[in-house]
Amino acid sequence: MAKVKDFYNFLNEAFPFSMQESWDNSGFLAGDPEKEVTRAAVVLDITSEAIEYARQTGAQLIISHHPVIFRPQKTFLKGSLAYQLASNDISAICSHTCLDCADGGVNDVLAQILGIENVEVFPCEDNEHMVRAGVLPEPMTAGELAAYIKEILGGPVRYCDTGKTIESVALCGGSAAGFSKDIINAGIDAFITGEANHHNFIDAKEAGLNLFAAGHFETENPVIPMLANKLRLEFEDIDIIVIPQSPPFITE
């Protein structure tokens, strides 16, 4: 029977925790490494609802993308997510920026489902491993690409339109608009990410970059079924489930 530590070791080999950013908190964050696992649950965010779903389905382990403990905690009180995990004897392993950076991780999956071709790692000044770059299957206008992204990912897409046809693209799921400067300097036509603010769009348009914000959840959640399938191949005798989840806000 597999134990929690076996899942940790497998994830560390596939998506090394050593690749995480210095500000990140990926790794084994809660629970008992010696706990036997008959069912493991995979989800983007560990929330109260996700923990309750794991409890009701008998999962001993939750594997998530976003860390359930991100900032230093001075208390461990009833109602907190870490307390809920401990009181239900559920362990948590979180693979965040290491899963973004690693081969076959968040950004490779995003490029794959968007049909980006000739995908390569695009090294940025602040991170040499996270961003991917490639070309579209066929040239598109900004409006056409926005509609295509929305069709594939399912959420609303905000974008700026420089008026030029898009062939080359860079992409990075989540909150990655800070990489725009490097992408602009490389002369890439468009950058697809999860989140961008008002000033990101102004700066991008002024510099001639078509910037697309397709949702933090929408750009990262596609990795979850991939991760679940990878775990099923490794742990054939363990029930691996995906916890259903939606964005944490409502868009009218």
Tell me the per-residue pLDDT of 38-54, one tens digit each, with 9 for 90 and over: 999 999 999 999 999 99
What the chain holds in terms of domains, given with CATH numbers, is 4-97 (3.40.1390.30), 103-219 (3.40.1390.30)
**Alpha-carbon distance 130 to 170, whole Å?**
11
pLDDT of residue 72: 84
pLDDT of residue 145: 98
What's the whole-model pTM score?
0.96
Which residues of the chain register pLDDT less than 70?
A: none
Sheet holding 210-213, edge to edge: 117-122, 131-140, 166-172, 190-193, 210-213, 158-159
Number of alpha carbons in the 13 Å side-chain half-sphere of residue 145: 35
Short-list 80, 47, 77, CA closest to 62: 47
pLDDT of residue 4: 98
Asked whether the beta carbons of 17 and 100 are under 8 A apart, the reply is no
Annotate 48-58 with b (16+ C-beta within 10 A) or e (fewer). eebbebbbeee
The count of residues in the chain is 252
pLDDT of residue 230: 98
pLDDT of residue 76: 87
